[in-house]
Chain A
Amino acid sequence: MIRGTVLELDRVTKCYAGSPPVVALGSVTLRVCRGEMLAVVGPSGSGKSTLLAIAGTLERASSGDVRVAGAAVGHLGDRELAGIRAHAIGFVFQQFFLVPTLTALDNVATGLLYRGIDETGRRRAARAALDAVGLGRRTAHRPGALSGGECQRVAIARALVGEPAVILADEPTGNVDSRQGAEIVELLRELNRLGSTIVVVTHNEGLARGLPRTVRMRDGIVEHDSGATG
């Protein structure tokens, strides 16, 4: 095991049943260390979203080993996997997935809902997380009153609020304009500087170039990894 490894995929494959079966991932090995920030890039259908889903324990690998924050997840049941997601993984999605009837503060607090923390504690942490993404003054606004960029900041705060071992961001700039996209990337870099481990999945080459490590995928395998640690 690599010291400080928070995410480890070892010869992971993913095959979807059908005729013919679709091989989404063919033997992917990837290690992400604590404090790292990397981009997983590749064209549509290259398997990067499947990689993210397996790394986030939302899907099971067909074969190979997946370890998240030190725990091998291959044989864990639904409750254990949910526990790992609640405690060790933060997700950021292209579509934000904010609850429209909740304020920014309560949307962020939802990030701690399944951890068994009481509401007061959740809100306190949510306020700090909104401060960290620069939305400390917009806690009472509902998503409808926020710009796309601001919505994505709220979603990032929601991923951040539980101080997860790793944040997995799926096309975080895909639904915002380029200026707001640049701000989002800058925010993620800032959070990384403060210690967060962040994996960004994107097909945006420009975004990927700005990050310290790039994992390039094609046809379900890693074509190139600029920061491979062997």
Chain B
Amino acid sequence: MIATDTPSIGAELGGDSLRLTRRSHLGARDVFRLATLGLRGRPARAVLSAAGIALGVATVVGVLGISTSSRAQLISEIDALGTNLLTVSPSPSISGGTPTLPARAPAMVRRIGPVQSASALGAVGGGVAIYRTDRIPAVNTDAVSVYAAQPTLLSTLQGHVARGRFLNAATANLPAVVLGASAASALGIDRADGAVEVWLGGRWFDVVGVLDPLQLAPELDRSAFVGFHAAEHLLGASGRVVEIFVRTAPASVGAVQSVLAATADPAAPQDVSVTDPTDALVARADASAAFESLFLAVGGVAVLVGGIGIANVMVISVLERRGEIGLRRALGATRAHIGLQFVAESALMGGVGGVTGGLLGGLASSLYSAARAWHAVVPASAFGAAVAAAVVVGAVAGLHPALKASRMAPAEALRTV
């Protein structure tokens, strides 16, 4: 029986002695199968472990979805109102006096070719306030401002009256007042049928109109408007112009914007500031998004805590599955294969949590948007990034348990079961 030929051993293995030099091999698809197998083996545990990450991702995707939807909604509302509105106002003066525009400014601005309409807002003396009755102490002004307004103001701002009507050529000369939405509710007035009077500048004014909130000039909602003529003759105002609202042809907004200052005050154009109110509104929407970061931070912490939960479960799982680890090593798995299996399982758990959370977050933001009649927008990049982050957190959480599993001595793992 003694011989030195090795081919017989090759024949033993099926006639191919090279098979011995073959290494252990595990395909990528099989790694994924092993990961799903591990999760299916203990489904309840897998679901509970993934829940933490799911919650975090749902928070992140939900918050981003809601804020994106709300911003998109605001921008579409602004677009509907027209982005061709500009405001002209005097820059705050260095001397400290109340800055004003020249009296001729509105007429000059109106002469710019592409300007469709220009409406001036005038100051009414500082001491003039509006009260519900003449019995109210002078200090209780309800913080309602009084302005002189041209009859075209409402159409220039594309605002609407809730009740009554805006000032017209006739009422602009009379003791008549139109209230902004907040001003009306501050004064407790909800009708404008000519039967309600307010105490304004020491005499009675008829309330002829109440406005809806002004989307493009929300700062005017807590104001009362009288005609320029009435302001000058009944309230002793000087007729100083403090702001001009300008509607231009949509294609010429930039061109008009560049000449407005010099037109409004040729002597001192540097004292005039020209703004696009839609810029301010969008900027305000962006600023309110700063609150999101708090929620996003909470979501991020939840994802991390979820990762710690997964790490915990995986450590226990490795201890419980010593037998399986030993068996796989006996079947030919390398240390790396064992480690890879547990990392893949952990990453998959994170991924399942991430996708579930992403869908929940998207659903939540869609429902919220639907309840507000918004067009729901769930940013795909946020969804993708959140799921990717969940997978990474899961994989990192699995590193330590996977290392433990891969270092387990196979004979010992088989014996201790």
Contacts and interface: CB of A to CB of B under 8 A. Distances in A.
A3 B3 contact: yes
Contact of B23 (A53, A82, A158, A163): A82
A19 B2 CA distance: 43
A89 B9 CA distance: 13
B37 A87 contact: no
Contacts of A160: none
Given A3-B1, A86-B331, A101 B12 contact: no
B413 to A, nearest CB: 9
Contact of B335 (A78, A93, A100, A116): A78
A184 interface: no
Given A56-B330, A82-B329, A82-B332, A4 B8 contact: yes
B143 interface: no
Interface string B1-14: 11111101110111
B333 interface: yes
Interface in A161-185: 163, 165
B380 to A, nearest CB: 33
Nearest to A118: B27
Contacts of B8: 3-4, 34
B324 A99 contact: yes
Contacts of B21: 83
B327 A97 contact: yes
Contacts of B1: 2-4, 33, 229
Nearest to B27: A116
A116 B25 contact: yes
A114 B337 contact: yes
A79 B20 contact: no
Interface residues of B, number: 47
Given A78-B334, A113-B30, A95 B417 contact: yes
B259 interface: no
B331 A101 contact: no
B76 to A, nearest CB: 51
A58 B329 contact: yes
Contacts of A69: 9, 12-13, 20
B25 A88 contact: no
A207 to B, nearest CB: 21
Contacts of A3: 1-3, 5, 8
Interface in A50-88: 53, 56, 58-59, 69-71, 78-80, 82-88
Interface in B293-343: 323-324, 326-337
A83 B332 contact: yes
A87 B12 contact: no
Contacts of A79: 23-24, 334, 336
Contact of A34 (B3, B12, B30): B12
B5 A88 contact: no
Contact of A111 (B5, B9, B27, B331): B331
Given A4-B1, A101-B41, A58 B411 contact: yes
B135 interface: no
B284 interface: no
B20 A102 contact: no
B162 interface: no
B146 to A, nearest CB: 78
Interface string B28-57: 011000000100110000000000000000
Given A82-B24, A99-B37, A115 B414 contact: no
A181 B326 CA distance: 24
Nearest to A92: B330
Contacts of B327: 91, 93, 97
Nearest to B7: A70
Nearest to B19: A87
B324 A58 contact: no
B372 interface: no
Contact of A83 (B23, B324, B328, B414): B23
B3 A82 contact: no
A6 B333 contact: no
A110 interface: yes
Contacts of B2: 1-3
A151 B415 CA distance: 19
B409 interface: yes
A49 interface: yes
5 contacts: A34-B12, A49-B415, A99-B41, A113-B333, A114-B331
